[in-house]
Amino acid sequence: MTGLLIGAAMMVAVAQTDTTFDAGGARYFRLGSEGGEIRVEAWDRDEVRLQADHGRRTTIEIRQDEDEIEVDSSGRGMLGGIVDYVVTLPRSMNVELEGMFADITVEGMQGEVSAETLQGDVVIRGGNGRIDASSMTGRIRIEGASGMIEFRSVAEDVRLVDVSGEIVGESVGGAIVIENAEATSVDVGSVGGRIDFSGPLADGGTYFFGTHGGTINIDVPAGTGAEFSLASQHGSISADLPGAPERFERRRRTTFSVGGGGAIVEAETFGGRIVVREAGSGEPDA
Amino acid sequence: MNAHIEATRLHDYVERLLGEEEGAAVERHLESCDHCRDIVSELAELISDLASLPSEASVERDLWSGIESRIGQGSGPDIIELPVGRHTPPRRISATWGQLLAAGIVLATVSGGTVWMALRGDTAGGAPLAQAPSLGSAAVPAVQVADEQYREAITRLEDLLDEGRHLLLPETLAALERSLAAIEGAIEDARAALDEDPNSELLNRLLIDHQQSKLRVLEQAAAAIRL
Amino acid sequence: MGSVPLRTTELQGAEDPTPLELVRRAQGGDSQAFQKVYETNVGRVYALCLRMSGDPQRAEELTQDVFVRAWEKLALFRGESRFSTWLHRLAINVVLQDRRTRGRRGDREQTTADLDIYGAAAQKAMPGTRVDLERAIAGLPEGARRIIVLRDVQGYKYDEIAEITGVSLGTVKAQIHRARALVREALER
């Protein structure tokens, strides 16, 4: 999508904006875009560098409030509001990005990050505090973020790697893969997609997984203490953990405790599979 | 003195923005130039008149009720919390959007949430871990009540989506419709299974989950249309 | 030394919350407190919107937008400036934003009839104001109008105006000189 538009941009007349200005200690950065790519990078200066490729009749508007910097574009002509942004921000800033047809990438920020797009991928590397990622038809990838992590994808896959804190989110049709998470709570669901989770379970932490037709793979480290509550209407359940039941009945909720309890893990599916096992005991089921 | 002082400097002079030396130079010029002196005095008078215009104006019409209706649905500024259980992070909804929909959605989700809490209370927090029984029948009517409210909220959102579907790209719309169909299929599965096993706690929970999921997808779509 | 003032403060605290307390309550989601905040500040906000827009009806809508936006952004107010200053700045942003939005649809020239309506509304809303001056401001092109209001009526510094409006200092100054000349011209007509 973006590539196509940039191709068109070259034919139509492209303009570039490249400006660096004092951030004035502002804590919030907001950017709204109709289309194009949004890339946010971090640096250790109290300055904002805004690079933008856009049509010649597009205007980039920068508004600076006491505490926030807001960037918007408006334009006429073929390219209208299509802008490719590269923004470099003070590392600690909180970032809020909204795009309609935008791929969004945020790298190395240490504040809160909110990235919402209608059609496009969202990639967030880093971030602390509240982390929101949402795309209707694009993929979501969050790496190394910590805090309250929320995601929502309607149709595509979501991958969270090396994140910590609380995780909440859903994908209707895509897979949700959470790798090596240090989560204190998880609440994720998918209608048709697969859910993979791996990482330590915190004592007192709560972990909920739900899918209608997909497979739920939960890999827990050896020696984990947890209470499991697993339920399936028409699907299958297996738990390869010391002390877990060998057989699970359909249409019943089965609960059991391993390693003396500690975390609460709950998984449920209508027609899919639930697979619980010790980490390192093989590839997750597809 | 021959040449007049340019207008910009006269404005700066009146506004006391010139340095001491420059200001003194202008003053020396003014002593001997009626033209510039007239401009300065007119300017000074105008600026003084403008500065003394009233800073407040009374509003005849009641503006507050309009403001109140736009901010009124939320529990607090900026964030309207949808107080439900699973998979529902607090959602930020703009005032306009909230105004359109919050009444329906909040009502529905509050009810759903209440039901949900009741359901969850029976299971996740339960200390004795054994084969849990099916949910007691007392909760079922509550689910049905919530179900009705969800249907209403969903119908309202679907109407909105219908009106604005032309605003979405075909591929977005296609993905959206696929997803909604998948959720609808899941809802139908859960309902059909509930017909056979009406007291199943699992099925009631799945049904509520899917309905909430549908609500959120529709909400996301409607928000996209608004963009 | 402080006994009398102190008692006054205590009484105020008990029965009549200070403006800042009301703001704090509103930040916590108390819409009744926010209504009081509105009542205290609406006069200044409306006056600003009225002059910046030159349109009484639009000014009412903008005033509502300002308070809705303020409610949404209340969390950002941390008490480093006076609330009224914060709100005023936010109001300017809302008006400028509106101008930008409408700007894409094109500005409309003010007709004499528009100015008559405006003058009457200004007199009603601000009894004792100089209607000729108000009309002259309202009749300015939009860019010149907003800058003369910010500079000469509201008293913002040039660099602040440049920052708020996002245009260069030189442009701001050129605009204000032109605006003053046009106002004088209008007054002489």
Residues of B in contact with A119 (CB under 8 A): 169, 171-172
Q: Do A68 and C80 touch (CB under 8 A)?
A: no
pLDDT (0 to 100) of residue B143: 41
Please identify among residues 11-50 of chain B the ones whose CB lies closer than 8 Å to any CB of chain A.
none
Please identify among residues 186-215 of chain B the ones whose CB lies closer than 8 Å to any CB of chain A.
186, 189-190, 193, 197, 200-203, 205-206, 209-210, 213
Q: Do A65 and C89 touch (CB under 8 A)?
A: yes
Q: Do A76 and C86 touch (CB under 8 A)?
A: no
Structure tokens at C121: 């509304």
Residue percentage of chain C with pLDDT more than 70: 85
Task: Please report the number of interchain residue pairs, chain A to chain C, with beta-carbon separation below 8 angstroms.
Answer: 23
Q: Do A172 and B130 touch (CB under 8 A)?
A: no
What value does the mean pLDDT take over residues B55-76? 80
DSSP string, B115-175: HHHHHHHHHTT-SS-S-BPPPPTTHHHHHHHHHHHHHHHHHHHHHHHHHHGGGS-HHHHHH
The residue of chain B with its CA nearest to that of C151 is B51
* Whole-structure pTM value: 0.55
Distance from CA of A180 to the nearest CA of C (A): 35
pLDDT (0 to 100) of residue B149: 64
Is B198's Cβ below 8 Å from some Cβ in C? Answer: no
pLDDT (0 to 100) of residue C108: 52
Q: Between residues A65 and A115, which one has the greater pLDDT?
A: A115
pLDDT (0 to 100) of residue B153: 74
CB burial of residue B65 (10 Å; 0-12, 13-18, 19+): exposed
Q: Name which of A151-160, B41-50, B158-167, C138-147 the model is least confident about.
A: B158-167
pLDDT (0 to 100) of residue C21: 84
Distance from CA of B37 to the nearest CA of A (A): 39
Q: What is the pLDDT of residues C169-189, one digit of tens each?
A: 887 888 888 889 889 888 887
First-last CA distance in chain B: 62
Q: How far apart are alpha carbons C71 and B77 in whole angstroms?
A: 5
Residue A5 has pLDDT above 50, yes or no: no
CB burial of residue A195 (10 Å; 0-12, 13-18, 19+): buried
DSSP string, B29-48: HHHH-HHHHHHHHHHHHHHH
Distance from CA of C61 to the nearest CA of B (A): 8
